Amino acid sequence: MTNPRQLAFITLRDVHKGAYADVALDRVLQKVNLPDHDRRLVTELVYGSVRRQRTLDTLIDQFAKKKSHQQPPDLRTILHLGFYQLRYQERIPASAAVNTTVQLAKENGFSGLTGFVNGLLRQYLRKAEEQGSRGVGGQRSRGAEEKDSLLLPQSPIPSSQCPVPHFDPLQLPENPVERLGILHSFPDWIIQIWLEQLGLTETEQLCEWMNQSPTIDLRINPLCTSIEEVEAALQSVGLLVRRIPDLPQALRFIGNTGSIQKLPGFKEGWWTIQDASAQLVSHLLDPQPGEVVIDACAAPGGKTTHIAELMADNGKIWACDRTASRLRKLQENSQRLNLQSIQIYTGDSRHSNQFQNTADRVLLDAPCSGLGTMHRHADARWRQTPESVLELSVLQKELLTHTSTFVKAGGVLVYATCTLHPAENEEVISAFLAESPHWQIEPPRGIELAASAYSTPQGWFKVWPHRQDMDGFFMVRLRKTNNSE
């Protein structure tokens, strides 16, 4: 089977049964040999349909007699694929989107409902045509030249600079939380959390950023190469990269990369994949050669290996994690990067007592809801709940309380998460400091972050994706005073 839309349907069916989107997609793509452009189409249709699930369900609710949750599950999935192509894929002609969706219905047990599928999608297009066949700026829609009169406005999805176009068939409520939630496809509770921190305009900008396809950043290994050498090697095979301010080891790919493992320098350990925000964390820790450093939740090891590079691979780094399989990935990465200073410890850092007062520095990259990286994990917005966030905040407080005992007097602990929820960030740190008189927030050293766009008056760091164009992160550097023993 090599039909990209059928492969996307099979993948989405698994996702709607509970599979993780990336796992389900990888499982399907491994079974077929597709050209790169078809692989990209399958990936876009799967991740896009998962991300935009709430919006797509709202369109079904609006145009069908039965609500989305009342539709047969597989038919709902097929309708998601149809509406997603019509609404978000400008390169796919409207007629092709409709016809291929009808064909999907026919091939997957819904031959008797092909008229319903065809009618529903055409109703969406007719509504758009009735309300205005011209896009923003008076440009003709992409469907205006199609002989079958399947018209689709050029810009059906508004940006923060452009209010909801009058010709958008999607009907939105007045309530700002529900409006943003339906338009950008997020649960109301996430929208509410962002509105409280950012206000309306920036929340919409953040929503738009989170619905973009993610970029890929790499971190060069300065122990065996230079950023100039990696740039030249990648450019030699036609790949464009750009440097990232404040991060001396970081490069960002521009455009498609193909298979990462086949790129020059990967097997040789010249570089590894790591988002720019995650690279900031190790610079904030500022590890020094010869020190003892503990990475308390280390797997899969991106920050652990970065710490080793910053220490010139001179010292001892304990990489702790309770999941042995994830630690194996860390070992593979450290071997590929030719790092010798990393020691593996399998176990829960909340119950590890042998490390008390042994570390010059501790990194606690705490398990979190991942709300800062939802563009990378299409289904994360639907998997997390307010209740799961509260459960995670309890775990985070337990980890911070115990791992702080690993630090020698005068030592440093960096707490970091890739979430933007105050219950997992500011509230965890505030509670810890209120109970721990021998700890205090310390301005960073090493890379000049103190006056950067990430710093806050309270002394912690918050990376907002729509402002800094990188994953959302929270991080804070804490110092244990010398009289704390």
> Which residues belong to the active site?
418
- What is the DSSP secondary structure assignment for residue 456, as one 8-state letter? -
CB 273 within 8 A of CB 230: no
The pairing of beta strand 316-321 with beta strand 292-295:
parallel
Q: Cα separation of 297 and 304, whole Å?
A: 9
Nearest to 414 by CA among 285, 276, 318: 285
- What is the DSSP secondary structure assignment for residue 238, as one 8-state letter? T
CB 316 within 8 A of CB 288: no
Nearest to 120 by CA among 45, 48, 60: 60
Dihedral sign (CA 388, 393, 396, 398) = negative
CB atoms within 10 A of CB 332: 12
Q: Cα separation of 343 and 211, whole Å?
A: 38
With b for 16 or more beta-carbon neighbours within 10 A and e for fewer, the 455-471 pattern comes to eeeebbbbbbbbbbebb
Region for residue 151 given its phi and psi (left: phi exceeds 0; alpha: psi -120 to 50; beta: otherwise): beta
CB 365 within 8 A of CB 297: yes
CB 235 within 8 A of CB 229: no
Collect all residues with Cβ–Cβ distance below 8 Å to 480 and sequence separation of at least 6: 404, 407, 408, 409, 410, 411, 412, 413, 438, 439
CB 264 within 8 A of CB 459: no
Q: Cα separation of 386 and 31, whole Å?
A: 37
Collect all residues with Cβ–Cβ distance below 8 Å to 382 and sequence separation of at least 6: 50, 53, 187
CB atoms within 10 A of CB 330: 21
Question: Which ranges of 161-251 would DSSP assign to H, the alpha helix?
Answer: 176-184, 188-198, 200-210, 227-235
What helix, strand, coil percent values describe the chain, rounded to 5? 45, 15, 40
CB 86 within 8 A of CB 117: no
| Dihedral pair phi/psi, residue 293, rounded to 5° | -125, 140
